Structure 1
Amino acid sequence: MAGGVGTLLALAACGESAPAPVATAAQTSAAPAGPWTFTDDRGKKIELPRRPTRVVAQVGSAAALWDFGIRPVAVFGPHKLKSGEKDPQVGNVDITKVTGLGNVWDEFNVEQYIALQPELLVSSMYVKGTLWYVPDKSKDTIEQVAPTAGVMLTGQSAAQVIGKYAELAQSLGADLNAPEVSSAKARFEAATEELKKISATGLKVLMMSGGPDTMWVVNPPEYPDIVHLTQSGLDVVTPDKVDEGGFFQSLSWENADKYDADVILYDARTQALKLEEMMKKPTFAKLLAVKAGHVYPWRAEAPFSYQGYADYLEELVANLKKAGQES
């Protein structure tokens, strides 16, 4: 493997030099001087002689860092739809200004990655030690090219994850007191307070995802966004039995009425079954929340930034208020 990496590095060196990173208003003007250290959620302490500026990130991490003012040079993971438009997962990242190293699972262009001369790779983790969308087949090579940093999602609250990305972004030169960051944080906090008020009314919420033959009821403790909702007092259905892995309970559509709820939040990601398709499932269509029109999107992959979660929570609060008024 080491020989292969050496060959790829040599080939990259013969090519054109990689583009320079782009600075933003939310980044400090100081040059990346002196040693740089960061301890990620694996407990891994990364030490470099200077602050890295050439950052490559999985799309979820890129979206979070972007909102804090850090501009990755490349992304990997779903960032472009078949139509050519941005995948919602990539948030506010301008995909015309970053290199795409892969757009689907198990796709990562290692040669292109090396040619970019990366100084740091960032990705979230659902399983500790496993960087999301870094393929097993090439992870050893990728690890040899540049240090990697992982941010844990499972078992954390959204506020904790946002805090970790804020810590990383600040270490990379972001100004957490920049107006756009401060404003987004204030919106996030205000929306959370509104959510607490709505939660006190006792609305029960079911959060789910759909496939052609299966309805998945999500298990709240495993999702940072839902942990934030439940910590704010929202009554979210917890399945009485979860599948291996702990993330959800699989039900046939015939059993879609297993749990009662006033509101249903459905997975709005591109890979999930669309609401109009779920409405064709007789048992789902007969649910009281569905008949009442209290079915709203669950933004399962909102960027872990104050801006991303302000947008998410403001939409959710508006929908829950509507459901509460109509109940």
Structure 2
Amino acid sequence: MSGAQAWGFTDDRGTELGAARVPRRVVAYVRAGAALCDLGVTPVAVYGSGHDGEVLDPAKEGGLRAAGVTYLGPGRALDEGRLRELRADVIVDVTYDGKSPYALDEAVADRIGIPLVALSVGNELTLPAILDRFGALAVSLGAVSQGDVSQGDVSFGGSVADGSSAGLRVAEDVLQAAAAASGFAVLALSGAGPDQVHLARPHAWPELARLAELGVRLVDPGPGPGANWLTADWGRAAELRPDLVLFDSRAHATAPDGTLSGVRSTPWNPETPPSPAAYARFFRDLAAALAP
């Protein structure tokens, strides 16, 4: 990239992107778009993943619906003509493997000639680092920075555009105190029907790893196949004897089975928008669920 370019950004695949001017019309994967909306950059439209349908999942929408952002349906089924009509300047997706965008075929962006930014949400980065990367992108797209943007700053360093870092730090303090007082064993899971449930491996999820750092006693489902989840029946979930269940609240997941009817539960969106405001809300809700 030349120094004369008005906009440049290196994404988490190591791809250097540039344009003659700062992109103003952003189309994004819904998780990335909801984060950018929190950070002061409102997309013109968002698209979903293979789990999503033709209607925006309420668990994923964040502030998108209130901001009037258009939902385009699943990314893999996107009509290229529709993207051209939107006159997008940049597409923002996430990546779990550091190589490929998650929800959109990169060839679509290539054919239209739109730069595609993919930011990591996988466990190769900590949650603070993920939030810093989204903050950095938002600032590059014109959001107002309230401090220097630095990657991997565990204190979040004022590196987000909406000034909500302080709110996140307060929420973390509240959660840490609640976790210490309760001592609850917490199991994160995603229901997959009456006979099957996916049990989260805490180390595989940046936000769950952050919870552990804050003193939340997370239950590991134990040995077996699956890097992020151990797939089992609901009886296995009950055998782990959780005091509190974090259940996947996305539209495609099912509610906790009756075998866990005596266990406290609270919603968990495994695709929480990577913004300090969104995680502050989640941490406060979890703190409330841990209260006596």
TM-score bracket for the superposition, by shorter chain length: 0.7 to 0.9
Q: Do residues 235 (structure 1) and 202 (structure 2) align? A: no
1:65 and 1:71 in contact (8 A); partners too: yes
Could you tell me which runs of 5 or more consecutive residues in structure 2 were left unpaired when the two chains were aligned.
Answer: 148-159
The match for 2:265 is 295
Cα distance, 1:256 vs structure 2: 2.9
Indicate the structure (1 or 2) with the bigger Cα radius of gyration.
Answer: 1
The match for 2:155 is none
Letter in 2 for 1:37: G
Could you tell me which runs of 5 or more consecutive residues in structure 1 were left unpaired when the two chains were aligned.
Answer: 1-32
Give runs of aligned pairs for residues 133-148 of structure 1, distance below 5 A. Answer: 133-135=103-105, 139-144=106-111, 145-148=113-116
Instruction: Summarize the Cα distance change of 1:300–1:171 in structure 2 as closer, same or farther, 3 Å threshold.
Output: same
Q: SS state of the match for residue 28, structure 2? A: strand
2:95 and 2:118 in contact (8 A); partners too: yes
The match for 2:241 is 260
Name segments (4+ residues, structure 1) moved above 3 Å. 78-82, 94-100
Instruction: Summarize the Cα distance change of 1:242–1:48 in structure 2 as closer, same or farther, 3 Å threshold.
Output: farther
Aligned length: 272
1:205 and 1:264 in contact (8 A); partners too: yes
Cα distance, 1:81 vs structure 2: 7.3
> What is the alpha-carbon distance in structure 1 between the residues aligned to residue 108 and residue 57 of structure 2?
29
Q: SS state of the match for residue 76, structure 2? A: coil
Letter in 2 for 1:260: R
> What is the alpha-carbon distance in structure 1 between the residues aligned to residue 273 and residue 224 of structure 2?
26
Q: SS state of the match for residue 150, structure 1? A: strand
TM-score, scaled relative to structure 1: 0.76
> What is the alpha-carbon distance in structure 2 between the residues aligned to residue 125 and residue 80 of structure 1?
17
1:80 and 1:87 in contact (8 A); partners too: no
> What is the alpha-carbon distance in structure 2 between the residues aligned to residue 41 and residue 303 of structure 1?
17
> What is the alpha-carbon distance in structure 1 between the residues aligned to residue 137 and residue 8 of structure 2?
10
> What is the alpha-carbon distance in structure 1 between the residues aligned to residue 68 and residue 80 of structure 2?
19
Instruction: Summarize the Cα distance change of 1:85–1:134 in structure 2 as closer, same or farther, 3 Å threshold.
Output: closer
Of the three residues 85, 91, 94, the one matched with 1:115 is 85
Instruction: Summarize the Cα distance change of 1:134–1:167 in structure 2 as closer, same or farther, 3 Å threshold.
Output: same
> What is the alpha-carbon distance in structure 2 between the residues aligned to residue 49 and residue 173 of structure 1?
14
CA deviation vs aligned residue, 1:288-316 (integer Å, no higher than 9, x gap):
xx42x422222322211121111111111
The match for 2:134 is 165
Cα distance, 1:34 vs structure 2: 5.2
Cα distance, 1:249 vs structure 2: 0.3
Q: SS state of the match for residue 296, structure 1? A: strand
Of the three residues 240, 247, 250, the one matched with 2:231 is 250
Q: Do residues 48 (structure 1) and 28 (structure 2) align? A: no
Of the three residues 257, 265, 269, the one matched with 2:250 is 269
Give % identity.
27
Letter in 1 for 2:118: G
CA deviation vs aligned residue, 1:20-76 (integer Å, no higher than 9, x gap):
xxxxxxxxxxxxx95211111111111222211121101001000001110112211
The match for 1:216 is 198
Q: SS state of the match for residue 74, structure 2? A: coil
The match for 2:10 is 39
Q: SS state of the match for residue 256, structure 1? A: helix
Letter in 1 for 2:45: A
Instruction: Summarize the Cα distance change of 1:206–1:96 in structure 2 as closer, same or farther, 3 Å threshold.
Output: closer
Letter in 2 for 1:56: V
> What is the alpha-carbon distance in structure 2 between the residues aligned to residue 214 and residue 200 of structure 1?
32
1:81 and 1:87 in contact (8 A); partners too: no
Q: Do residues 200 (structure 1) and 180 (structure 2) align? A: yes
Once superposed, what is the RMSD of the aligned Cα atoms?
A: 2.6
> What is the alpha-carbon distance in structure 2 between the residues aligned to residue 143 and residue 106 of structure 1?
14
1:219 and 1:242 in contact (8 A); partners too: no
> What is the alpha-carbon distance in structure 1 between the residues aligned to residue 78 and residue 224 of structure 2?
32
> What is the alpha-carbon distance in structure 1 between the residues aligned to residue 53 and residue 38 of structure 2?
21
Letter in 2 for 1:209: S
CA deviation vs aligned residue, 1:213-255 (integer Å, no higher than 9, x gap):
21111011222221221121211112222434x0100112333
Of Structure 1 and Structure 2, the greater helix share is in 1
The match for 1:12 is none
The match for 1:17 is none
